[in-house]
Structure 1
Amino acid sequence: MHVCTTFNTSVSYFLRLDVFMIRFKLGEMMEKKRFTDGRRFSITDIAAETGLSRVTLSKILNQKGYGTGTDTIDRLCQFFGCRVEDLMEHLPEANEANGAGN
């Protein structure tokens, strides 16, 4: 197993590179908002309205297993008017899904 440590302020995030347990649903939320608002918008629009960087949003959208902080998650939830579980989901490991988890 490979482990990567990312530091964000005083919190340490651990991301297992062989199993991605958290999946962001940013693309799905963008499509849902496009449908409900009846207008198209881009990562640049989201960045302008949330104060988040385009790079961060692009990584969340395109980089499998990207980890981010709670402030980013909070800003995205406010922008989309959603709950955390609407924006991201926990994917069980293969052995958890088969009932063999620790």
Structure 2
Amino acid sequence: MIKCHLSRLMGEKKLKIADVTRETGINRGTITRLYHETAERVELDVMNKLCEYFKCELGELFEYKSDQS
């Protein structure tokens, strides 16, 4: 399972979905699905924009967790 830490990153900076959407140009629905961890796919350009915006590595935004845990 892939975990998305967007909600944690946003919480640390006290950002709302609207803030990230406005400042990155990423579709609000995409940000919402990532925030609630309901996204089934993510485009590479979206991951790139989020990493640039949060000044983080991809591993800080997404994490692989074994389903066997």
TM-score by length of 2: 0.87
**Structure 2 residue ranges without an equivalent (≥5):** none
RMSD (CA atoms): 1.5
Q: Distance in 2 between matches of 1:65 and 1:43?
A: 15
Q: Which runs of 4+ in 1 moved over 3 A?
A: none
Larger Rg: 1
| Mean Cα deviation higher: 78-87 or 65-74 | 65-74
> 1:44 aligned to 4, 12, 18, which one?
18
Q: Unmatched 5+ residue regions in structure 1?
A: 1-20, 35-40, 98-102
- Specify the SS of the correspondent of 1:58: helix
* Alignment match, 1:87: 61
Q: TM-score by structure 1 length? A: 0.61
Residue 19 of structure 2 aligns with an amino acid whose one-letter code is: D
More helix by share: 2
Q: Name the amino acid aligned to 1:84.
A: L
- Matched length: 69
